[in-house]
Amino acid sequence: MIDALWGWPPPVLDPAGPYADKVTTLAWALFGMGVVVTAIVCAALWLAVRGSPRMKALIGGERTIWIGGIAFPGVVLLGLLVWGLTLTASLTQPIRGDEMRIRITGEMWWFRVQYLNADGDIVMEDANELHLPVGVPVVLELEGADVIHSFWVPHLSGKKDMIPGRRTLLRVQADRPGEFGGLCAEYCGSQHALMGFVAIAHKESDWQTWFDDRTTRVARTEMLAETAPPDAMPYPGDAAAYPMELGTLERYDARRGMRLFMESGCAACHRIAGTEANGLAGPDLTHVGSRRSLGAGILPNNRGTMMGWIGDSQSIKPGNRMPSYDVLSAEDIGHIAAFLELQK
Amino acid sequence: MKSETGFDHALYDRFPTEARPDGEVRDLERIWASPKGWRRLTAVNNNYVGFWYIVTAFGFFLAAGVLALGMRIQLAAPMQDVLGVDTYNQFFTMHGTVMMFLFAVPAVEAIGIMLLPQMLAARDLPFPRLSAYAYWAYFVGGTMFFLSLFVGLAPDGGWFMYPPLTSIAFSPGINTDFWLLGIGFIEISAIAGAIEIIVGVLRTRAPGMTLDKMPMFAWAMLVFAVMIVVAFPSVILCTMLLEIERAFNWPFFDATRGGDPLLWQHLFWFFGHPEVYIIFIPAAGLMSMMVATVAQTELVGYRLNVLALVATGFISFGVWAHHMFATDMPRVSAGYFSAASMAVSLPAGIQVFCWIATLASGKIRWSTPALFVVGSVVIFTMGGLTGVMVGMVPFDWQAHDTYFIVAHLHYVLMGGMVFPMFAAFYHWHGMTSSRALSDHVGRWVFWLMFAGLHITFFPMHLSGLMGMPRRIYTYMPGRDLDLLNLISTIGAFIMAAGILLFLIDCTRRFRFTVDNDVGNLYGGGTLEWLPTGLYSTRSIPVITSREPLWDRPDLPREVAEGRYFLPNSATGHRETLITSPLFAEPQYVQLMPGPSAWPLSAAIFTAGFFLSLTVQAYAFAIFCGLVAVVSTLRWVWETDRPIKQDRADIGAGIEMPIAITGPQSHGWWALNTLLVVVGMIGFMALFAYFYLSGINGEVWQTPPPLGETVVILGVEALALLGAWGGRRVLALRSGRMAEDLPWIIQAAAAALLTGALWLDVTGWLESGLHPTESGMGATVFMLSVLQGQVVAVAIVMAIYLAFREARGIMTTPTNVTMDIVGRFIGYCAIQGMVFTLVPRIFPGG
Amino acid sequence: MADRYHSHDRLIYRTMLLAFAIWGGHFILAYGAALVFPGTATANGIALIAACLAVVAIGILAFRLPRPRPTIAFGSLGLSLAAIVFGTLPAVVG
């Protein structure tokens, strides 16, 4: 199973950025208020039932209602309200417009992530992962492609809905490097439960390196140049063509995987920059090999899980939009997985 | 000392009178006797209907609870496959829907029907056949709805059914239509119940029971019913919109054609949040009464409690969008809803401290209801506090749609409704059972439920903060959620054990009875503990205080001896005393209808109508619809029964008229309430029109020419004139036969309305607007659909009027039927004018 | 059977309903302004003016009550006033 990116300590109480930080303070204050008021009510109940006659006489009148039911809550609620409104205002400062922008689209049941340049053009596409530089405020443009989803990375900020026909804006900022789990919070159909996400905060310089690398490099197809055309490939059948000293994994030929990818229907829904695979329905696979997880945060990303996902995604995540490629042989799927593994 | 109606209060001093002959009791028994055998199903008396209602609602509570257990088993450990995703999604949708719509609202309505007449010392609620219809529509429709689960066709979009997930593109099956069907029934029965309760509370109280002396439950039910009348139209409209979008492709919620998914959320939550208070307020009323009985002292802060109920009723209509904080509402708008959410906590605080102060001012008698009462105060307080937390916008952004919310809402609903309901069952079961439930077992029931509740729901606060979203059928291991979820599952079974124990005790000891009950087990001081039969109390006492039984120990005996109002049947028919709304001064004697199979038939065929629509059997739907309409008309046929007397002696030589019309009559109140409902539906539709024009103004186009608009308005004004004129003509024929002219005028008015609607629709079509093409088209033609519905009713009414005239039962100078038809057609004309004018002169965008 | 009727009952219940209706009116105006002029000073101004009017109206209603002031009517005015103060804060704070 993939690494737990949330759990204990509760991410709501373990903030990693300014937009979650202040809410954590508020949350602790609210819990304190809850405990104190519950204690007061329970104590008052106890005294009302079991108290001395004097105590009961003290409580048993309209004055109790005026103090306990009107004045006290009035003051507490007024204070909380002012705090809440001030905090809301500080968390929703107007967006200047020159912030870094990333568009995230909720789809059934994964997140499309598109990095935008200053003009708002898409320069790079990814899925289910958000890489962001530490200490830099990032504006997320949230959209819903089909139904309403909700974007939530509790370490970084509260949630915001992704609504078809609208573009909602959410500001996030990470103050420390790390990986922060996220998920869809609005019920969006059968696989809502398995719609995960990860935000990865890098040091700013590291992020820039990563980003430049991502945007300049396209598909890992360089190995094609040094080999014969795909149809001349020897495997399967001719195991002898492979030197025995290679480990089992290398027996799967990425070159053949690429051909299968293009010809078996994968390319109709998935794009790999620099190849003829141009499908837009599913996640962009240009860098799939470097993703932390498969299936929107539910499987670790390795050859085995990739093979399992390609061959039988419907039993891993029933109802998802990708058919199980059980018509392909295990060998074929292994080749495709080998090819995809290289797409870092 | 002022009088509200001119009734001389000195007349009250004639009571108690001398004891009346016993023979009158036998007359009452004969007149109010219910049919035997299978014909018992045609009974309309509140003792029967109320009891069936409660049993059915409780049955749905159990059924939805079993679904919850199924979900808890599925979630007991990560990555389980006990239910499977499709079944799980149907389970949680049904759990929420059934609990909210088929248990909570009907249950409190049922308790109202069961208890209110007795508490107010009325013979029955004012429209017993309407109660019966509401019950049967609910029973048949709710059962069919629930059965959809067994064929895998249950809805799976969550109980608030957000489009576009529930639109035809993403939910092509008829599962969603079943949801709309199920809700349709509860809308009908809730509205019917609300009308019944408003009129019942305001017009059938015992003489002298001023508003200030009403039992707190009656206050609560009044607020409850008014809230239903204001809130339910919104959900009626949005279920219609969704069904029309699904069936006819009108894009109300489709963003690509100028609709908006958030329109649904506004409409749904404008109903949905008040709904929570609709459930809570009656339970709070019961709590207030039980607290007083448990402590054997009158409620401290009665008036504060009244104003708290009314304040909740109002302010709860200003909080709906706190369910939408995460939709990127502008900050200031969100602030208004946050502020109202804080403000609505104030009245809740008042009530909690009223209860505490009352407990302190008396001497508590521990018993099962006392335990449930005290327990629910604790639970409700905890739920209310998490409610304050999520009312804070920034915290809600984190907590929204997580298990924190699941914990919050269950604490509120359990503490605010379920526990009070159990308390009430124990407290009042002496009214309907010939044997008492075991107090010893009851304490076990309480402690199992109380412990189970905390074990189940308290850990959910934490799992929510740890990142567990609601409505997930499974979760990944290794996230520290395993243990918390296992604890919740164990807790759920502990709670279920408590409820099972309750059921066992009920089977062993509870025996339904209408005249041989064990009575006042806990020493309550209100009128429902007077000796009763199916006719309620023998005579209707004069009320001078809030707890008459505590203050006047002789009262039960005097009432049973017939020494107060209506000690017999003054007309030989079923009847009750109608009193004035404020001071409850006697005004007239209302004749009550007896048992009838027609409400039952109307309900079954209403159910058949909606069900056939759902499964697209349109021919059968038309047949069912016709039978339902005919059954309804047949059931109201007996209104305005010509009877020989026009005045009756209601005891102590006081004479009162029988059956009147106009603003004094209870029928007038009921019709007005219904018109408020219809008007609210229209108002919400106009809201939808303006809302979409503000969001997607670019699809708005120019309206048809002004001249056409003026013509339509003229036609509608003529119809309005006709509606008024028909009644005037009837009045002018006082003392003579009504003849044909009055109904012909009304029929002509209905025809004019039809014509106006036709002109309006064709005008829009000619201007190039089409309902499937844009949000504007959809909302404009939706107004026409709504107008079409009332015009269709107006036509049926005009025909009905003609039939009555043909049979010679049009009484002059006043006639309730004529009164209702005229007013309704007049309303249709006014609504038509508004619907014509608004979109034609306010083109948005 | 003295004190069976308050001669002011009608006034009391009318005041109660009016008190909360004033809250409702303020809420509709403030929220409506925020819908029509989102994020502007105009919207906040309308909310503030509405709040002033509402407070004045509540004051008038309170003044017209008989003395000693009946709990229901006076309490409703107080509760409504509190809700209006709460409901004005979003236009002022932040």
Domain ranges of chain B: 99-438, 666-841
Architecture of domain B99-438: Up-down Bundle (1.20)
Contact residues on chain C for B314, CB-CB shorter than 8 A? 20-21, 23-24
Question: Mutation test of the interface with chain C: which of B209, B219, B302, B307, choosing the one with the most C Cβ atoms within 10 A?
Answer: B307
Q: Which residues contact A295 (CB under 8 A, 6 or more apart)?
A: A110, A194, A309, A313, A316, A317, A320
Q: Do C82 and A81 touch (CB under 8 A)?
A: no
- Residues in A touching C94 (Cβ below 8 Å): 85-86, 88-90
Q: What pLDDT band is residue B809 in, cutting at 50, 70 and 90?
A: confident
Q: Residue B270: count other Cβ atoms within 10 Å of its Cβ.
A: 23
Interface test mutation site (partner B, options A146, A159, A169, A314, max chain B beta carbons within 10 A): A159
Rounded mean pLDDT of B366-379?
96
> Which residues of chain A does C82 touch, with a Cβ-Cβ cutoff of 8 Å?
74
Among the listed ranges B124-138, B196-210, B418-432, B647-661, which one has the minimum average pLDDT value? B647-661
Q: Which is higher by pLDDT, A253 or B428?
A: B428
Three-state secondary-structure class, residue A226 = coil
User: Which residue is it, tokens 């306990």?
Assistant: A68
Residues of A at the C interface, defined by Cβ within 8 angstroms: 70, 74, 77-78, 81-82, 85-86, 88-90
Secondary element (H or E) of residue A106:
strand A100-107
Residues of C in contact with A82 (CB under 8 A): 89, 93
* The pLDDT value given to residue A1: 42
Q: Does C90 touch chain B (CB under 8 A)?
A: yes
DSSP state of B662: S
Q: Is the pLDDT of residue B732 over 90?
A: no
pLDDT band at B533 (very low <50, low <70, confident <90, very high): confident
- Which CATH fold topology does B666-841 show? Four Helix Bundle (Hemerythrin (Met), subunit A) (1.20.120)
pLDDT confidence of residue A251 = 63
Residue C13 lies in a domain: no
Cα dist from B585 to B205, B208, B211, whole Å: 9, 6, 11
B39: pLDDT strictly greater than 70? yes
- Is the pLDDT reported for residue C28 higher than 90? yes
pLDDT-derived band at B734, boundaries 50, 70, 90 = confident
Cβ–Cβ < 8 Å for A126, A287: yes
The pLDDT value recorded for residue A218 is 66
Name the more confident of B667 and B43: B43
Structure tokens that stand for B289 in this block: 């009464």
pLDDT of B21 higher than 70? yes
Subunit contact A85:C86, Cβ cutoff 8 A? no
Interface of B with C (CB under 8 A): 1-2, 9, 12-13, 208, 210-212, 303-304, 306-307, 310-311, 313-315, 317-318, 330-336, 338-340, 342-343, 346-347, 544, 582-583, 694
Contact B594, B123 (CB under 8 A): no
User: In angstroms, rounded to a whole number, what is the distance separating the alpha carbons of residues B488 and B492?
Assistant: 6
Strand partners, A142: A104, A168
Type of residue numbered A342: L
Structural contact between residues B748 and B726, judged by C-beta atoms closer than 8 angstroms? no
Interchain proximity B330–C34, CB inside 8 Å: yes
Query: Sorting pLDDT into bands at 50, 70 and 90, what band is B601?
Result: very high
Q: What residues contact residue B790 under an 8 Å CB cut-off, 6+ apart?
A: B678, B824, B827, B828, B831
B60 confidence band (pLDDT: 50, 70, 90):
very high
The yes-or-no verdict on residue B775 having pLDDT over 90 is yes
Q: Closest partner residue to B480 among A7, A81, A152, by Cβ?
A: A7
| Alpha-carbon separation of residue B309 from B42, B285, C70 (angstroms) | 36, 8, 17
Residue type present at position B758 = W
- The answer to whether position C66 is within a domain reads yes
DSSP category for residue B79: T
Chain C residues whose CB is inside 8 A of the A88 CB are 94
């030929």: which residue's tokens? A253
Residue C38 lies in a domain: yes
Cross-strand bridge partners of residue A271: A278
Judge whether C75 lies within some domain.
yes
Average pLDDT over residues C20-40: 92
Residue range B154-177, pLDDT digits in tens? 999 999 999 999 999 999 999 999
CA distance C27 to chain B (A): 7
Confidence (pLDDT) at B404: 97
* Other Cβ atoms within 10 Å of C29 Cβ, number: 17
- The angle at the Cα of A78, spanning A77 to A80, to the nearest 5 degrees, equals 60
- Assess contact for A70 and B346: CB atoms under 8 A: yes
The pLDDT of B108-131, averaged and rounded, is 93
* Tokens at B643, concatenated: 């009877």
Which of A22, A26, A78, A91 is the best mutation test for C, with the most CBs of C within 10 A? A78
pLDDT along chain A (344 residues), means of 10: 72 94 96 96 94 91 91 95 95 87 95 93 93 95 96 95 94 94 94 93 94 78 47 44 46 81 92 89 92 90 93 91 92 90 85
Say how many C-beta atoms besides its own lie within 10 A of residue B728's C-beta: 11
CA B734, B738, B743, B749: dihedral to nearest 10 degrees?
-30
Stronger pLDDT, B141 or B460, i.e. the higher one: B460
Contact A89 C94 (CB under 8 A): yes
A78 and C90: CB-CB below 8 Å?
no
* Dihedral over Cα of C22, C23, C28, C30: its sign: positive
d(CA B326, CA B393) in angstroms, rounded, equals 9
Asked if C23 and B315 touch (Cβ cutoff 8 Å), the reply is yes
Asked if the C-beta of C61 comes within 8 angstroms of chain B's C-beta atoms, the answer is no
Contact residues, chain B, for C94 at CB < 8 Å: 331, 335
Identify any residues that bridge with A101 across adjacent strands, giving them in sequence order: A139
Contacting chains of A (3 CB pairs or more, <8 Å) are: B, C
Contact in structure between B164 and B170 (CB atoms under 8 Å): yes
Is residue B828 a contact partner of residue B796, using CB atoms and an 8 Å limit? no
Q: Which helix (H) or strand (E) holds B533?
A: strand B532-533
Q: Report helix, strand or coil for B471.
A: coil
pLDDT-based confidence at C5, cuts 50/70/90?
very low
Q: What residue in A sits closest to C39 (Cα-Cα)?
A: A94
Residues of C in contact with B9 (CB under 8 A): 4-5
pLDDT in the model for residue A229: 43
- CB within 8 Å: C16 and B318: no
For residue C86, the chain A residues in CB contact (below 8 A) are 77-78, 81
Residue contact A154–B398, C-beta within 8 A: yes
Inter-CA distances, A289 with A124, A273, A292, B354, Å: 15, 13, 9, 64
Q: How many domains does chain C have?
A: 1
Distance from CA of C50 to the nearest CA of B (A): 14
Query: pLDDT exceeding 70 applies to what percent of chain B?
Result: 98
The CA radius of gyration of chain B, in Å to the nearest whole number, is 27
Q: How many CB pairs under 8 A join B and C?
A: 113
| B-chain residues near A77 (CB < 8 A) | 342-343, 345-346, 388
What end-to-end distance do the CA atoms of chain C give, in Å? 57
For residue B318, list chain C residues with Cβ-Cβ distance below 8 A: 23-24, 27, 31, 87
Q: Which domain holds residue C80?
A: 26-92
**pLDDT score of C7:** 60
Contact B595, B44 (CB under 8 A): yes
C89: confidence class by pLDDT, cuts 50, 70, 90: very high
Helices (H) and strands (E) in chain B, counts: 26, 6
What pLDDT score does C2 carry?
A: 36
Instruction: Report the amino acid identity of residue A46.
Output: W
A61 vs chain C: nearest CA distance in angstroms? 14
Chain segment B538-572, per-residue pLDDT in tens: 999 999 999 999 999 999 999 999 999 999 888 88
Q: What is the rounded average pLDDT for all residues in chain B? A: 92
Name all chains with 3 or more CB-CB pairs below 8 Å to chain B: A, C
Does the pLDDT value for residue C80 go beyond 60?
yes
User: Positive or negative, the Cα torsion across C77, C78, C81, C83?
Assistant: negative
